[in-house]
A = this chain, B = another copy of it.
Amino acid sequence: MILVKQAGVYVNILNCKLKKYLAEVFKKNNVNLTAEQYLVMDTLWNEGTLTQQEIAFIIQKDKNSVTQFIDNLEKKGLVARSVSKEDRRVNNIVVTKEGMALKDSTKQLAIETMNKALEGIPEKDVLVFVDVLKKVCANI
């Protein structure tokens, strides 16, 4: 069916728009994070200290990307690398005080952003939407 093709196109367009929209909202509120950096911060806020590998697994990005994300977040003082005592190859990524200070307001901004994006869409459709997103992710 034609829809199949459209799905890929719209995922691409939507991703772009969402990133741009989130960037705008963040900028307006003086939050200096890209979408991917927010993804990392959110993961750390939720899960606590993680290794880079664990972060990569959770957000499904490759290790090189994660290295870069952590580099940038570290420069901003939001996280810190701390060499693991059990295995010195491993970096434990810790959220700093500055990083924790951003937690609530930033999460709120992200939620509001998505709420606005999903405005007017019936909840049952949103449920199906997220379900399909997850299933397709798992398919690939």
Contacts and interface: CB of A to CB of B under 8 A. Distances in A.
Interface of A: 1, 3-19, 21-22, 35-36, 39, 42, 59-61, 107, 110-111, 113-121, 123, 125-137, 139-140
11 contacts: A5-B110, A7-B117, A7-B118, A10-B130, A11-B14, A12-B15, A12-B18, A12-B19, A13-B59, A16-B60, A128-B128
A130 to B, nearest CB: 5
Interface of A is mostly: helix
A22 to B, nearest CB: 7
Q: Choose among A12, A13, A42 the residue with the greatest number of B CB atoms under 10 Å from its CB.
A: A12
A137 B10 contact: yes
